[in-house]
A and B are shown apart, each in its own frame.
Chain A
Amino acid sequence: EADIYQTPRYLVIGTGKKITLECSQTMGHDKMYWYQQDPGMELHLIHYSYGVNSTEKGDLSSESTVSRIRTEHFPLTLESARPSHTSQYLCASSETWVSYNEQFFGPGTRLTVL
C-alpha cells in the first residue's frame, strides 16, 4: 500500500479565500506531481518536482503554486480561489525517472469553490 497522504479530502470554500492542499509521502521519492481532474474527465499534470527546491509547471496551465522545501512534502496553494478552481486534485510520487516505475497516488482532494 502506498504511503502518500493528502489533506483535506474534501474542501468547500468561498471565492477569494487562500487555500493550501497538503501532500506528503513517506517513501523518500524524489519525484512528485500534482494532477487536476474535472469530474468524469482525465487527469492533467499541473505541477511537478524533481526534488527539494525544484518545481516546474505541467502541461495544464494553473493559477496554483507549489513548493518543495522537504523531500516528503509538496503542498499546493491557491492565493485566491475561484469557482473555476472547483475540481479534484491528486498528488502522486515516484521513485525514479524510469518509465516502469508506477506513480503512487494519494486519495485526492475534492475542492469546491462557491
Chain B
Amino acid sequence: AQKITQTQPGMFVQEKEAVTLDCTYDTSDQSYGLFWYKQPSSGEMIFLIYQGSYDEQNATEGRYSLNFQKARKSANLVISASQLGDSAMYFCAMRGITGANNLFFGTGTRLTVIP
C-alpha cells in the first residue's frame, strides 16, 4: 500500500522568497510516480509537477522544482520567487501501477504568501 506524509499543516513565506514543502512517501512498488497538485480556495486540483521513480534528474516546471531523494523516500516541492497567487493548499500524491492505479494523497500543506 502507498502512504504519503506531509508534516507541515501550514507554511508562511514572504513574497518573492523561495519555500520548500515537505513530502515523504512509502510504497512497495518498484515503479511509481510522484505528483504535486495545487488546490486554491475554489476547489479544483491543478497539476504542478511530476517525478518518476526511475528519473535521475529532479523535475522542474517553471518556478516549481521537485527535490527527489529516492533513498530517503522524499519528494519535496520547491517554489521559487513566491507570488501572492501561490497561496493555496498543496498536495503531494503518489501513483503506483498496481490495483486501481489511483492517486494516494497526503493531508496537504496550506501555503500563505505574505506581501
Residues on A close to B: CB < 8 A? 31, 33, 35, 40-45, 48, 56, 58-59, 88, 90, 92, 94, 97-108, 110
Report which of A42, A48, A59, A97 forms a contact with B108, defined as CB distance below 8 A: A42
How many contacting A-B pairs (Cβ < 8 A)? 72
Query: Given A42-B106, A45-B102, A48-B100 in contact, is the A99-B45 Cβ separation under 8 Å?
Result: no
- Assuming the contacts A42-B106, A100-B50, A100-B52, asked whether A107 and B31 have C-beta atoms less than 8 A apart, the reply is no
A90 to B47, CA, bound (A): 14
In this complex, the interface size class of chain B, counting residues with CB under 8 Å from chain A, is 20 to 34
Q: Tell me, rounded to whole Å, the shortest Cβ–Cβ distance linking A26 to chain B.
A: 17
- CB neighbours (8 Å) of B100 from chain A are 33, 45, 48, 56, 58-59
Please tell me if the beta carbons of A102 and B47 are within 8 angstroms of each other in the complex: yes
| Residues B96 and A90 in contact, CB atoms below 8 Å apart | no
